[in-house]
């Protein structure tokens, strides 16, 4: 049985990991926990390890007591826990609103077809928990939180490969959600954002949450390409060859070329300034 000392949280039993949810969020937490459990089983079989963690599904009131990231609704993971929200936070709509002026009519129509009008990001936000779960399958220093990867964007790309791979193999009917938002990120380009260089991805969350989300969906597009090129073998090769923190940017691109030449070229062509 899952135990909690927080009187505001409800323990949900019957899942592959301990689950704690804000009171009133149990129904949504069960949906998220079931998907996280399926993804955990798949990643465990594929990557041959099993991290131990608690899944927290928290409302805005309970968020500050548990979360290591103050931005409400920004899914996150650190060794031992994944934290997410039962409903998508307002920054999802803020991101879409920032994209709209830079998108052609056909892209706007695709977004409305996939997400509705007004847009409903609930399922897409739930899928990000799989991204966060994938982070628990690479090394993270327990004190500094430094990862085995040489840059934030490389680490985030690995997590996005895990998310895309899970959706492609277990819930392919949901692929239009990440794929369409990745296409919208490419269509909008770098113009809307104050921080554009890949090296600035980590800092962008402090500057603008929508700016950071743009980086993630650009990388989700890369993850789609890598998965379509080599599937789980490409994901394993990515971790094996890029999971070295001292790699130079040039070495990262060189090693990416062996995994997916198109993604390597896109990294070379990434906008600067």
- The model's pLDDT over 45-88, given as tens digits with 9 standing for 90+, comes to 999 999 999 999 999 999 999 999 999 999 999 999 999 999 99
Stated pTM of the model: 0.95
Q: In what order do the strands lie in the sheet with 76-78?
A: 9-12, 19-22, 54-57, 81-84, 76-78
Q: What is the C-alpha to C-alpha distance for residues 242 and 118, in angstroms, rounded to an integer?
A: 40
Residue 147 pLDDT: 75
CATH node for 9-268: 1.10.390
**Contact at 8 Å (CB) between 16 and 30?**
no
Domain ranges of the chain: 9-268
Q: Cα torsion for 171, 172, 173, 178, to the nearest 10°? A: 100
Query: How many CB atoms are closer than 10 A to CB 64?
Result: 10
Residue 3 pLDDT: 45
**Percentage of the chain lying above the pLDDT 90 cut:** 90
Structure confidence by residue, pLDDT tens digits, 105-147 = 999 999 999 999 999 999 999 999 999 999 999 976 555 556 7
Cis check: omega of the bond before 118, within 30 degrees of 0:
yes
Mean pLDDT score, 14-37: 98
Q: What is the C-alpha to C-alpha distance for residues 94 and 213, in angstroms, rounded to an integer?
A: 10
Helices (H), 116-208: 122-135, 152-170, 176-188, 201-207
Residue 6 pLDDT: 76
């Amino acid at each position: 049985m899952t135990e909690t000392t927080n009187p505001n949280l409800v323990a949900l039993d019957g899942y592959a990991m301990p689950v704690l949810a804000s009171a009133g969020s149990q129904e949504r937490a069960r949906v998220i926990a079931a998907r996280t459990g399926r993804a955990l089983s798949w990643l465990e079989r594929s990557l041959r390890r099993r991290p131990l963690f608690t899944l927290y599904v928290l409302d805005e009131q309970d968020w500050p007591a548990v979360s290591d990231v103050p931005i409400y609704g920004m899914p996150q993971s650190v060794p031992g826990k994944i934290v997410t929200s039962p409903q998508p936070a307002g920054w999802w709509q803020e991101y879409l609103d920032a994209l709209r002026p830079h998108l052609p009519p056909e892209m706007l129509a695709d977004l409305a077809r996939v997400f509705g009008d007004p847009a409903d990001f609930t399922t897409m936000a739930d899928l990000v928990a799989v991204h966060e779960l994938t982070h628990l399958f690479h090394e993270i220093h327990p004190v500094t939180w430094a990862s085995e990867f040489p840059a934030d964007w490389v680490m985030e790309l690995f997590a996005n490969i895990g998310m895309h791979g899970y959706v492609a193999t277990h819930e392919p009917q949901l692929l239009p959600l990440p794929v369409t938002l990745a296409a919208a990120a490419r269509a909008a380009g770098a113009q809307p954002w104050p921080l554009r260089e890949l090296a600035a991805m980590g800092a962008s969350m402090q500057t603008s949450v929508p700016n950071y989300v743009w980086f993630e969906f650009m990388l989700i597009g890369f993850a789609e390409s890598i998965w379509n090129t080599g599937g789980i073998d490409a994901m394993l090769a990515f971790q094996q060859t890029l999971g070295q923190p001292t790699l130079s940017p040039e070495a990262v691109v060189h090693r990416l070329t062996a995994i997916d030449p198109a993604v390597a070229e896109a990294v070379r062509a990434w906008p600067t300034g």
